[in-house]
Protein backbone atom coordinates (compact mmCIF):
# COMPACT_ATOMS: atom_id res chain seq x y z
CA UNK A 1 0.00 0.00 0.00
CA UNK A 2 2.80 2.41 0.94
CA UNK A 3 4.59 1.68 -2.35
CA UNK A 4 1.34 2.31 -4.25
CA UNK A 5 0.81 5.66 -2.50
CA UNK A 6 4.45 6.64 -3.06
CA UNK A 7 4.19 5.72 -6.75
CA UNK A 8 0.97 7.69 -7.10
CA UNK A 9 2.55 10.74 -5.49
CA UNK A 10 5.55 10.49 -7.79
CA UNK A 11 3.30 10.26 -10.83
CA UNK A 12 1.28 13.25 -9.59
CA UNK A 13 4.46 15.25 -9.03
CA UNK A 14 5.86 14.26 -12.42
CA UNK A 15 2.78 15.11 -14.50
CA UNK A 16 1.67 18.05 -12.38
CA UNK A 17 5.00 19.85 -12.08
CA UNK A 18 7.95 18.24 -13.87
CA UNK A 19 6.11 17.55 -17.13
CA UNK A 20 4.81 21.13 -17.32
CA UNK A 21 8.17 22.69 -16.50
CA UNK A 22 10.10 20.54 -18.98
CA UNK A 23 7.61 21.02 -21.83
CA UNK A 24 7.54 24.83 -21.55
CA UNK A 25 11.30 25.17 -21.09
CA UNK A 26 12.01 25.40 -24.88
CA UNK A 27 9.65 28.40 -25.08
CA UNK A 28 12.26 30.47 -23.23
CA UNK A 29 14.18 30.66 -26.52
CA UNK A 30 11.14 31.33 -28.75
CA UNK A 31 7.83 33.01 -27.93
CA UNK A 32 4.64 32.13 -26.09
CA UNK A 33 1.37 31.22 -27.76
CA UNK A 34 -1.75 29.32 -26.63
CA UNK A 35 -1.00 26.56 -29.14
CA UNK A 36 2.33 25.95 -27.43
CA UNK A 37 0.44 24.79 -24.33
CA UNK A 38 -1.13 21.70 -25.92
CA UNK A 39 1.69 19.41 -24.75
CA UNK A 40 2.06 20.99 -21.27
CA UNK A 41 -1.71 20.76 -20.70
CA UNK A 42 -1.61 17.01 -21.33
CA UNK A 43 0.48 16.56 -18.18
CA UNK A 44 -1.90 18.72 -16.15
CA UNK A 45 -4.87 16.66 -17.36
CA UNK A 46 -3.16 13.43 -16.30
CA UNK A 47 -2.30 14.99 -12.93
CA UNK A 48 -5.93 16.03 -12.41
CA UNK A 49 -7.07 12.50 -13.23
CA UNK A 50 -4.60 11.03 -10.72
CA UNK A 51 -5.66 13.53 -8.08
CA UNK A 52 -9.34 12.75 -8.69
CA UNK A 53 -8.71 8.99 -8.45
CA UNK A 54 -7.10 9.46 -5.02
CA UNK A 55 -9.90 11.61 -3.62
CA UNK A 56 -12.52 10.16 -1.29
CA UNK A 57 -16.06 9.52 -2.51
CA UNK A 58 -17.49 12.76 -1.07
CA UNK A 59 -14.65 14.88 -2.40
CA UNK A 60 -14.65 13.04 -5.70
CA UNK A 61 -18.22 14.10 -6.47
CA UNK A 62 -17.46 17.74 -5.64
CA UNK A 63 -14.28 17.71 -7.69
CA UNK A 64 -16.09 16.10 -10.62
CA UNK A 65 -18.70 18.88 -10.59
CA UNK A 66 -15.99 21.55 -10.46
CA UNK A 67 -14.06 19.95 -13.30
CA UNK A 68 -17.22 19.55 -15.39
CA UNK A 69 -17.97 23.26 -14.94
CA UNK A 70 -14.40 24.13 -15.87
CA UNK A 71 -14.58 21.97 -19.01
CA UNK A 72 -17.89 23.60 -20.01
CA UNK A 73 -16.44 27.10 -19.60
CA UNK A 74 -13.33 26.09 -21.52
CA UNK A 75 -15.47 24.68 -24.33
CA UNK A 76 -17.46 27.93 -24.54
CA UNK A 77 -14.24 29.94 -24.66
CA UNK A 78 -12.81 27.62 -27.32
CA UNK A 79 -15.95 27.96 -29.44
CA UNK A 80 -15.78 31.77 -29.21
CA UNK A 81 -12.07 31.79 -30.06
CA UNK A 82 -12.64 29.45 -32.98
CA UNK A 83 -15.36 31.75 -34.31
CA UNK A 84 -12.96 34.71 -34.09
CA UNK A 85 -10.29 32.76 -35.96
CA UNK A 86 -12.88 31.93 -38.61
CA UNK A 87 -13.74 35.64 -38.97
CA UNK A 88 -10.04 36.50 -39.32
CA UNK A 89 -9.59 33.77 -41.95
CA UNK A 90 -12.60 35.03 -43.91
CA UNK A 91 -11.21 38.58 -43.86
CA UNK A 92 -7.85 37.31 -45.12
CA UNK A 93 -9.54 35.35 -47.90
CA UNK A 94 -11.68 38.34 -48.95
CA UNK A 95 -8.63 40.60 -49.06
CA UNK A 96 -6.76 38.12 -51.24
CA UNK A 97 -9.69 37.78 -53.65
CA UNK A 98 -10.34 41.54 -53.73
CA UNK A 99 -6.69 42.21 -54.52
CA UNK A 100 -6.77 39.78 -57.45
CA UNK A 101 -9.83 41.56 -58.83
CA UNK A 102 -8.24 44.99 -58.36
CA UNK A 103 -5.02 44.15 -60.22
CA UNK A 104 -7.04 42.94 -63.22
CA UNK A 105 -8.31 46.51 -63.57
CA UNK A 106 -4.92 48.21 -63.11
CA UNK A 107 -2.43 48.72 -65.99
CA UNK A 108 0.89 46.92 -65.63
CA UNK A 109 3.68 49.21 -64.47
CA UNK A 110 1.40 51.18 -62.15
CA UNK A 111 2.20 51.77 -58.51
CA UNK A 112 0.29 49.87 -55.83
CA UNK A 113 0.43 51.55 -52.43
CA UNK A 114 -1.13 49.44 -49.68
CA UNK A 115 -2.54 51.60 -46.91
CA UNK A 116 -4.08 49.58 -44.09
CA UNK A 117 -3.97 45.86 -44.79
CA UNK A 118 -4.38 44.59 -41.21
CA UNK A 119 -1.77 42.36 -39.68
CA UNK A 120 -4.06 41.41 -36.81
CA UNK A 121 -7.80 41.37 -36.07
CA UNK A 122 -8.89 41.13 -32.41
CA UNK A 123 -5.35 40.03 -31.64
CA UNK A 124 -5.49 37.20 -34.21
CA UNK A 125 -3.33 36.87 -37.30
CA UNK A 126 -4.76 38.14 -40.60
CA UNK A 127 -1.94 39.40 -42.84
CA UNK A 128 0.84 39.88 -40.30
CA UNK A 129 4.15 39.12 -42.08
CA UNK A 130 2.12 38.06 -45.16
CA UNK A 131 3.55 40.49 -47.70
CA UNK A 132 5.24 40.23 -50.13
CA UNK A 133 4.50 36.49 -50.15
CA UNK A 134 0.76 36.98 -50.68
CA UNK A 135 1.60 38.89 -53.89
CA UNK A 136 3.21 35.79 -55.41
CA UNK A 137 2.07 32.36 -56.51
CA UNK A 138 0.40 30.24 -55.21
CA UNK A 139 -1.46 32.94 -53.25
CA UNK A 140 -1.67 35.26 -56.26
CA UNK A 141 -2.55 34.54 -59.88
CA UNK A 142 0.69 36.25 -60.93
CA UNK A 143 3.86 37.75 -59.44
CA UNK A 144 2.58 41.23 -58.61
CA UNK A 145 5.99 42.80 -57.75
CA UNK A 146 7.11 41.96 -61.30
CA UNK A 147 4.06 43.65 -62.81
CA UNK A 148 3.69 46.66 -60.50
CA UNK A 149 5.69 48.94 -58.25
CA UNK A 150 4.35 47.63 -54.96
CA UNK A 151 4.71 49.50 -51.67
CA UNK A 152 3.63 47.24 -48.81
CA UNK A 153 1.89 48.55 -45.71
CA UNK A 154 4.04 48.30 -42.55
CA UNK A 155 1.20 46.42 -40.82
CA UNK A 156 1.53 43.39 -43.10
CA UNK A 157 5.17 43.48 -44.23
CA UNK A 158 7.38 40.54 -43.35
CA UNK A 159 10.67 42.25 -42.71
CA UNK A 160 12.43 45.57 -42.02
CA UNK A 161 9.90 47.87 -43.63
CA UNK A 162 11.81 51.17 -43.38
CA UNK A 163 15.05 49.61 -44.60
CA UNK A 164 13.37 47.96 -47.60
CA UNK A 165 10.61 50.38 -48.52
CA UNK A 166 11.98 53.88 -47.91
CA UNK A 167 14.36 53.53 -50.91
CA UNK A 168 11.42 52.28 -53.00
CA UNK A 169 9.34 55.27 -51.88
CA UNK A 170 12.11 57.69 -52.77
CA UNK A 171 12.48 56.06 -56.19
CA UNK A 172 8.72 56.30 -56.78
CA UNK A 173 8.80 59.96 -55.76
CA UNK A 174 11.72 60.67 -58.12
CA UNK A 175 10.19 58.67 -61.00
CA UNK A 176 6.43 58.77 -60.34
CA UNK A 177 3.87 56.69 -62.22
CA UNK A 178 0.11 56.60 -62.01
CA UNK A 179 -0.59 54.68 -58.82
CA UNK A 180 -3.45 53.23 -56.83
CA UNK A 181 -4.03 53.37 -53.11
CA UNK A 182 -5.22 49.95 -51.93
CA UNK A 183 -7.17 50.25 -48.69
CA UNK A 184 -9.62 48.35 -46.50
CA UNK A 185 -12.90 50.26 -46.59
CA UNK A 186 -15.71 50.53 -44.05
CA UNK A 187 -17.30 47.35 -45.46
CA UNK A 188 -14.12 45.41 -44.74
CA UNK A 189 -13.33 45.01 -48.43
CA UNK A 190 -10.19 46.02 -50.28
CA UNK A 191 -10.81 48.95 -52.57
CA UNK A 192 -8.68 51.20 -54.77
CA UNK A 193 -8.34 54.89 -55.51
CA UNK A 194 -6.45 56.28 -58.45
CA UNK A 195 -3.51 58.58 -57.69
CA UNK A 196 -2.13 60.50 -60.72
CA UNK A 197 1.64 60.66 -61.01
CA UNK A 198 1.77 64.35 -60.04
CA UNK A 199 -0.17 63.57 -56.86
CA UNK A 200 2.21 60.67 -56.18
CA UNK A 201 5.19 63.02 -56.28
CA UNK A 202 3.47 65.63 -54.10
CA UNK A 203 2.16 63.24 -51.44
CA UNK A 204 5.37 61.24 -51.17
CA UNK A 205 7.26 64.51 -50.89
CA UNK A 206 5.16 65.39 -47.84
CA UNK A 207 5.56 61.92 -46.36
CA UNK A 208 9.32 61.84 -46.84
CA UNK A 209 9.96 65.48 -45.99
CA UNK A 210 13.02 65.76 -43.68
CA UNK A 211 11.48 65.80 -40.23
CA UNK A 212 11.11 63.42 -37.29
CA UNK A 213 9.57 60.35 -38.80
CA UNK A 214 10.90 61.02 -42.31
CA UNK A 215 14.32 60.76 -43.90
CA UNK A 216 17.26 63.13 -44.09
CA UNK A 217 18.26 64.94 -47.27
CA UNK A 218 21.04 62.46 -47.96
CA UNK A 219 18.54 59.60 -47.89
CA UNK A 220 19.31 58.16 -44.47
CA UNK A 221 16.34 57.00 -42.43
CA UNK A 222 15.61 59.30 -39.50
CA UNK A 223 13.21 57.93 -36.87
CA UNK A 224 12.04 55.30 -39.33
CA UNK A 225 9.79 53.78 -36.70
CA UNK A 226 7.72 56.96 -36.66
CA UNK A 227 7.46 56.89 -40.44
CA UNK A 228 6.05 53.36 -40.30
CA UNK A 229 3.73 54.28 -37.42
CA UNK A 230 2.38 57.33 -39.27
CA UNK A 231 1.93 55.50 -42.56
CA UNK A 232 -1.72 54.55 -42.16
CA UNK A 233 -2.70 57.89 -40.57
CA UNK A 234 -1.13 59.80 -43.46
CA UNK A 235 -2.98 57.93 -46.18
CA UNK A 236 -6.27 57.66 -44.28
CA UNK A 237 -6.29 61.45 -43.99
CA UNK A 238 -5.84 61.71 -47.76
CA UNK A 239 -8.58 59.14 -48.37
CA UNK A 240 -10.79 60.82 -45.72
CA UNK A 241 -11.56 57.48 -44.09
Which tens digit of pLDDT belongs to each residue from 158-195? 998 988 998 999 999 999 999 999 999 999 999 999 99
Q: Decide: residue 56, CB within 10 A, 0-12 exposed, 13-18 middle, 19+ buried.
A: exposed
Helix and strand totals (H; E) in the chain: 8, 6
pLDDT band at 116 (very low <50, low <70, confident <90, very high): very high
Confidence label for 218 from pLDDT (cuts 50, 70 and 90) = very low
224 and 116 belong to one structural domain: yes
Residues 60 and 101 in one domain: no
- Residues 6 or more apart whose CB falls under 8 angstroms from that of 54 comprise 8, 12
Q: Is the pLDDT of residue 91 over 80?
A: yes
| Residue 102 and residue 22 share a domain | no
Please write the tens of the pLDDT for every residue from 136-147. Answer: 999 999 999 999
**How many Cβ atoms from other residues are within 10 Å of residue 107's Cβ?**
11
Q: Give the pLDDT confidence score for residue 179 in this predicted structure.
A: 98
Is the same domain home to 59 and 70? yes
Distances (CA, A) of 202 to 22, 94, 198, 208: 58, 32, 6, 10
Which one of 55, 86, 117 terminates a domain?
86
The residue with greater pLDDT, 98 or 211, is: 98
> 149 lies in which domain range?
89-239
Residues 48, 139 within the same domain: no
Structural domains of the chain, count: 2
Cβ pair 162, 225 in contact under 8 A: yes
Domain boundary among 70, 86, 102: 86
Mean pLDDT to the nearest integer, 93-105: 96
Structural Rg of the chain based on CA atoms: 26
How far is it, in rounded angstroms, from Cα 189 to Cα 182? 10
Checking DSSP bridges between strand 120-121 and strand 179-184, what pairing results, if any? unpaired
Q: Do 59 and 115 lie in a common domain?
A: no
Domain-ending residue, one of 68, 86, 104: 86
Q: What is the pLDDT of residues 2-31, one digit of tens each?
A: 445 455 678 888 888 888 888 888 888 887
Distance CA 66, CA 64 (A): 5
Q: Which of 113, 119, 89 is nearest to 99 (CA)?
A: 113
Residues 58 and 108 in one domain: no
Same domain (yes/no): 24, 61: yes
Q: Residue 13 has what pLDDT?
A: 83
Confidence of residue 208 (pLDDT cuts 50, 70, 90): confident
CA 145 to chain centre: 22
Report, as an integer, the average pLDDT of 98-117: 97
Residue 217: pLDDT band with limits 50, 70, 90: very low
* Domain co-membership, 12 together with 109: no
Give residue 14's Cα distance to chain centre. Answer: 36
Among residues 119, 118, 105, which one has the least CA distance to residue 180?
105
Task: Tell whether 64 and 99 lie within a shared domain.
Answer: no
Q: Is 136 helix (H, G, I), strand (E, B) or coil?
A: coil
Whole-number percent of the chain with pLDDT over 70? 88
Q: Is the backbone peptide bond immediately before 142 cis, with ω within 30 degrees of 0?
A: no
Lowest mean pLDDT among 43-52, 143-152, 165-174: 43-52
Residue 147 shares a structural domain with residue 165: yes
Residues with Cβ within 8 Å of 226's Cβ and at least 6 positions away in sequence, in order, are 212, 213
Same domain, residue pair 187 and 134: yes
DSSP for 167-228?
HHHHHHHHS---EEEEEE-TTS-EEEEEE-HHHHHHHHHHHTSSSTTSB-TTS-BSSHHHHH
Amino acid sequence: MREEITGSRRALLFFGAAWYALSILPLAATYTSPRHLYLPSFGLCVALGLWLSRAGTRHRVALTVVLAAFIALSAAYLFRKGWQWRQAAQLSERMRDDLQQIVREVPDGSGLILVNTPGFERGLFVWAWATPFVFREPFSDSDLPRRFRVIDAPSSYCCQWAQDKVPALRDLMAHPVDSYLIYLDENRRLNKRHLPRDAVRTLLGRLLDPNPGGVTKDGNVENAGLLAADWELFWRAHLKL
